[in-house]
Structure 1
Amino acid sequence: MNTAPPEEPEETDLVDNPDPEPEPTFKPEKPPVDTPNAEYCSPRNVYIPKTKGKQYHKGVGPTNSNYNGTSRTARSTFVSEVTGEVGVSVTAGLSGSVSAMIAEIEAKYEVNLSAKLTAKLGNSISVDTPAKKTTNAKYGVYRLKNTGTSYKIYSNCQTSAKKTITSYTPIKVGWYLWEN
């Protein structure tokens, strides 16, 4: 049992379910020369996961609380009151798709992630509440924090500027409980 509400990450610079940035216009200083020895790379978007963070709980609906004013332990039952969908949040500048980023994170850390998960109405949980304590319950989606690097490789083998990307990706639905 936790002793404090779920920690909420600072997400002011994040975009929910982002679209990739538009392709930048690239103007070479000299016209390209088509020679058999010219270097060529397969153009692609690259995402490299760097740091696996912890899981943060994003609640759906209100926090439920129950105070046990008796001198004995009492059973508290909580029921989710709404249905809500929680998706990926990511800082601006991701090259490529969210699904490609998720695939790279899953492969590196051997986890199963989703682009979005739904916390549904009517899910319940029962826990013991000690005497003179309050048990709090919040239903929602746990999201895995990850930091990685994103950039593009162009056909001339040049790369765009590398950007550090922070993402929060749904990993599981569940309750976060705490007592005070």
Structure 2
Amino acid sequence: MLVAACAGVAMIATPPAFADDPVPSPNNPDVLVGSTPETEATPVPQDGPVGVLAVPTCGARNYKVSSSANSHQGIGAEQSNYNKGTGPATMTFTAQVSGTVQLSYTGTASADAGIILSKASAALGVTLSASITASLGNTISFSVGPKKWGHAAYGVWRKKTVGQYCHGGVGSTWKTVTAYSPWRVGWVVWES
């Protein structure tokens, strides 16, 4: 069972906080807490017909996003504690390592990272970065039920986008590109 945490209080009866609906940590307003619903791809509204696959060539460099999902890239080992007691226990986890997560993509070796970032940011209405560093010492607390394990993974939330990319120029064709663009530093917390 996934548990979202806010101000040290478990919200077990409510759905987890996703990165699209962030719940900031009290002392870290830029840190997101939630689950990683990467399998729940969200279609992205298109401005016009999506028939880009039917067009064999393309003009200028472009990236047309067709779907997106949240993805969490962990930094360091997952942390866990067990509540041996008969009532809820507040567990606190602290980031033990720092690290940088960079934009990555598959589908073509020579895509323009700036085009991917700008087009994905515009399509999703969020600011994406080429890289984000998650620093040491970030802490999260949440409540874990009796006889349950509390788990936490620290890292960087990314936006996974799937779309059609065009290199531009004579003879360029559309290629399917899946990109993972860094978005925010944050935690994934859950109970088992």
Structure 1 length as normaliser, TM-score? 0.71
Who is 1:61 aligned against? 76
User: Amino acid of the residue matched to residue 2 of structure 2?
Assistant: N
Show CA shifts across 1:43-95 (max 9, x none): 97522223232101110001110100010111100000000100111014165
With 100-109 and 64-73 compared, the bigger mean Cα shift is at: 100-109
Given the superposition, is the C-alpha separation of residues 47 and 152 from structure 1 closer, same or farther in structure 2, using an over 3 Å criterion? Answer: same
Root-mean-square deviation (CA, aligned residues, Å) is: 2.3
Query: Of the two, which has the highest radius of gyration?
Result: 1
Who is 1:2 aligned against? 2
Who is 1:142 aligned against? 157
Given the superposition, is the C-alpha separation of residues 94 and 47 from structure 1 closer, same or farther in structure 2, using an over 3 Å criterion? Answer: farther
Secondary structure of 1:125's counterpart equals strand
Who is 1:48 aligned against? 63
User: Amino acid of the residue matched to residue 146 of structure 1?
Assistant: T
Who is 1:123 aligned against? 138
The answer to whether the 8 A contact 1:8-1:58 is kept is no
The answer to whether the 8 A contact 1:6-1:57 is kept is yes
Q: Share of identical aligned residues, percent?
A: 35
Secondary structure of 2:167's counterpart equals strand
Show CA shifts across 1:139-176 (max 9, x none): 0011111112122333xxx4312211110101111010
Runs of 4 or more off by more than 3 Å in structure 1?
A: 5-9
> 1:112 aligned to 2:124?
no
> 1:76 aligned to 2:91?
yes
* Counterpart selection for 1:151 from 157, 166, 170: 166
User: Amino acid of the residue matched to residue 61 of structure 2?
Assistant: V
User: Amino acid of the residue matched to residue 87 of structure 2?
Assistant: R
Given the superposition, is the C-alpha separation of residues 8 and 98 from structure 1 closer, same or farther in structure 2, using an over 3 Å criterion? Answer: same
The answer to whether the 8 A contact 1:94-1:150 is kept is no
The answer to whether the 8 A contact 1:146-1:166 is kept is yes
The separation in 2 between residues aligned to 1:117 and 1:44, in whole angstroms, is: 32
Secondary structure of 2:96's counterpart equals coil
Structure 2 length as normaliser, TM-score? 0.67
* Counterpart selection for 1:160 from 158, 172, 180: 172
The separation in 2 between residues aligned to 1:91 and 1:75, in whole angstroms, is: 41
The separation in 1 between residues aligned to 2:111 and 2:104, in whole angstroms, is: 15
